[in-house]
Amino acid sequence: MGERIVVGMSGGVDSSVAALLLKEQGYDVVGVFMKNWEEQDDNGTCTAETDWRDVREVCDLIGIPYYSVNFAKEYWDRVFAYFLKEYQAGRTPNPDVLCNREIKFRAFLDFAMSLGATRMATGHFVRSDEAGHLLRGLDPNKDQSYFLYMVHDAQLKKSLFPVGGLTKAQVREIAEAHHLPVSKKKDSTGVCFIGERNFKKFLAEYLPAQPGDMVSTDGEVVGQHDGLMYYTLGQRRGLGIGGRGDGRSWFVIGKDLERNRLLVAQGEDHPLLYSSLSVAEDVTWVGEAPAEIGQPFLCTAKYRYRQADQPVEVVWEEAGRLRVRSLVPQRAVTPGQSLVLYEGDRCLGGGIVTMVLDAGMLSNG
């Protein structure tokens, strides 16, 4: 028997192909399905049951043992509670980055080691090297390094990413060639525990909505919002005030938490939508910090997933805080979202945006 590798399997095509490739390379592969959420979707279907069935079918086909492990309590305590707290504070969180840090590369990694594995593997489209560097996935349309910036080099050294050097098309081709039952299964979208459900309806089950005024830049009440937690900076759809003003589309430019007001303005390029200076906290470096505290350095950044790299100057002001100046004004930088830093293909780390300093937005903190 070769080296034991435990693969985190979601029931999707990426993790299924990851397990298949490792099996073909001669590893002693064990598939493990993580159940992180207990509820049904809007149709009364427990999607976890469908995914678990797909995992079993794939593992039987490629000839590896499989387990299921329930991390629902850990997920609730370490990820979902944070998610609710951030929305309550008027921010727009990204729970996927926390899920990777707390569940997949902590709780699951520990479980994999308990099964006698030397390393774990996932279907993420990222790459790593022996030094524990986190590198972008080869397919630029599927690269997931943005979501893994909270994972440390020590964890990466115990991890494998078999599909990180492939394109999504190649992954599906491999799945079809081996007749995997998930070869044509569509990719999951949205927040993992919400899935295809109506987001607004889901959030209302956990947080009481507080409707209030939508207010323009000159202080005029132009409409009513359903609750500040339902809106994000730069949002256009769903405002319901299209007939007001000069006929141009309205956009969310900020949140006045004290007075429960949603601030809106007309025009996709309204100056209050743009900023160049922001602060990020809860800073995580994948490996060693790229500079000493107080020393500026140049790199690129993503303020949101799928965004093209933006040139920035960064100052690590203290252990948990970055001041980031973008060399190109950024649209709708959003408190609660992750600001992730890169040097070429290497992901350096990042932090959570807490303040936008030069856009006049009332949504800081």
DSSP 103-137: IIIIIHHHHHHHTT-SEEE---SEEE-TT--EEE-
**334 domain residue, yes or no:** yes
In order of 58, 153, 220, 315, the CA distances from 133 in angstroms are 31, 6, 51, 21
Find the CATH number of the domain harbouring 257.
Answer: 2.30.30.280
User: Considering the domain boundaries, does residue 195 fall inside one?
Assistant: no
- Model confidence, pTM: 0.92
- How many structural domains is the chain composed of? 3
- Number of other CB atoms surrounding residue 118 within 10 Å: 13
Candidates 46, 59, 192, 347; catalytic one: 192
Given this model, what pLDDT does residue 1 score? Answer: 59
Q: CA dist 259 to 213, 224, 255, 360, Å?
A: 9, 13, 9, 16
* CB neighbours of residue 18 within 10 Å: 28
Same domain, 145 and 29: yes
237 and 89 belong to one structural domain: no
Tokens of 319: 């252990």
Same domain, 72 and 169: yes
Is the same domain home to 262 and 307?
no
Q: Are residues 258 and 278 in the same domain?
A: no
The answer to whether residues 120 and 16 touch, using CB atoms and an 8 Å cutoff, is no
- Which of 268, 289, 311 is the endpoint of a domain? 268
Point out which residues pair with 351 in neighbouring strands.
339
CA distance 9 to 32: 6
Q: How far apart are CA 23 and CA 29, in angstroms?
A: 6
With tokens 């995997």, the residue in question is: 180
Query: Quick one: pLDDT band at residue 223, thresholds 50, 70, 90?
Result: very high
CA atoms within 13 A on the CB side of 162: 27
Which residues partner with 274 through β-bridges?
A: 331
The whole-number pLDDT of residue 43 equals 52
Taking only the tens place, the pLDDT of each residue in 3-23 is: 999 999 999 999 999 999 999
The question of whether 347 is a catalytic residue gets the answer no
37 and 142 assigned to the same domain: yes
Q: Same structural domain for residues 42 and 156?
A: yes
User: Has residue 361 been placed in a domain?
Assistant: no
> Annotated catalytic residue: which of 59, 99, 299, 347?
99
Give the model confidence (pLDDT) of 143-152 as tens digits. Answer: 999 999 999 9
On whether both 38 and 170 belong to a single domain, the answer is yes
Q: Is 99 a catalytic residue?
A: yes
Residues 260 and 281 in one domain: no
Determine the structural domain holding residue 248 and report its residue range: 209-268
pLDDT tens sequence across 246-301: 778 999 999 999 999 999 999 988 999 999 999 999 999 999 999 999 999 999 99
